[in-house]
Homo-oligomer: A and B are copies of this chain.
Amino acid sequence: MTNEPARRPGGRSARVRAAVHAAVAELIAERGYGGCTVKDIAARAGVADTSIYRRWGDLNALLIDVALARLTDGSPLPDTGDLPGDLTAYAAQVARDITGPAGPAIPRLMAALSEAGTTARAAFVEARSHQLNTMLTRAHDRGEPVITTVEILDHVLAPMYTRVLFGVGGVDEKYAADLVKRALERAS
């Protein structure tokens, strides 16, 4: 027993989710995906296998939930006052995220996502697009030149993802900022 408040609202259900998500990230970092089974995740998280199957259905669905959570929980949306500032902060967050402890999980999460069918993939893309559209709408309302979410995917996110995937060229905040600058040169 402690007096610390729960870190997330929702009580036991939210604690189970947080423990399972943390277990997935740890196991992937330690062993890669070959060693990442529902049984191992349950043992690491201190929950029953059946709790995972009941809640997520299968391992693939759990992996997608982890990927979605990394997008929607992990990255508070920047609001710096202008689009170059917002996009630079956003791209720096992505660079930190994909080169951090969860980085090695990303290619497998992408694979799971691409096999999950159009609904799960659309939910993932929707989550990321929603974040970007909020920034772009603010910029448009301020009268700034803007680009599209697909242009951000093409010219800011894609090069970072692909560098990490292939282990080529390196990804850091400077590189992320250069990609944003280059993409915004075409803003109108």
How many Å lie between the Cα of A114 and that of B115 in the bound state? Answer: 17
Within 8 A of B (CB), among A88-119: 104, 107-108, 110-111, 113-115, 118
Of B32, B60, B168, which one neighbours A153 at CB under 8 angstroms? Answer: B168
Q: How far, in angstroms, from A169 to B121 measured CA to CA in the complex?
A: 13
Check A27 for interface membership: any CB of B closer than 8 A.
no
Q: Measured between C-beta atoms, what is the minimum distance from A61 to chain B in Å?
A: 12
Bound complex: CA A60 to CA B104 (Å): 16
* A30 at the binding interface (Cβ < 8 Å): no
Interface flag for A14 (CB, 8 Å): no
Q: From residue A13, how far is it (CB to closest CB) to chain B in Å? A: 28
In the complex, the answer to whether B115 meets A33 with C-beta atoms within 8 Å is yes
Evaluate contact between A115 and B34: CB separation under 8 angstroms.
yes
Q: When the two chains form the complex, which single residue of B104, B154, B157 contacts A169, counting CB atoms closer than 8 Å?
A: B154
User: For A169, what are the chain B residues with a Cβ–Cβ distance below 8 Å?
Assistant: 150, 153-154
- Whether A115 lies near B125 (C-beta < 8 A) is no
Given A111-B110, A114-B104, A159-B154, A122:B33 Cβ within 8 A? no
A111, B33: Cβ atoms closer than 8 Å: yes
Query: Can you name 13 A-B residue pairings with CB atoms under 8 Å?
Result: A107-B115, A108-B111, A110-B165, A113-B165, A114-B165, A121-B166, A125-B168, A153-B159, A153-B169, A154-B162, A158-B162, A158-B163, A159-B159
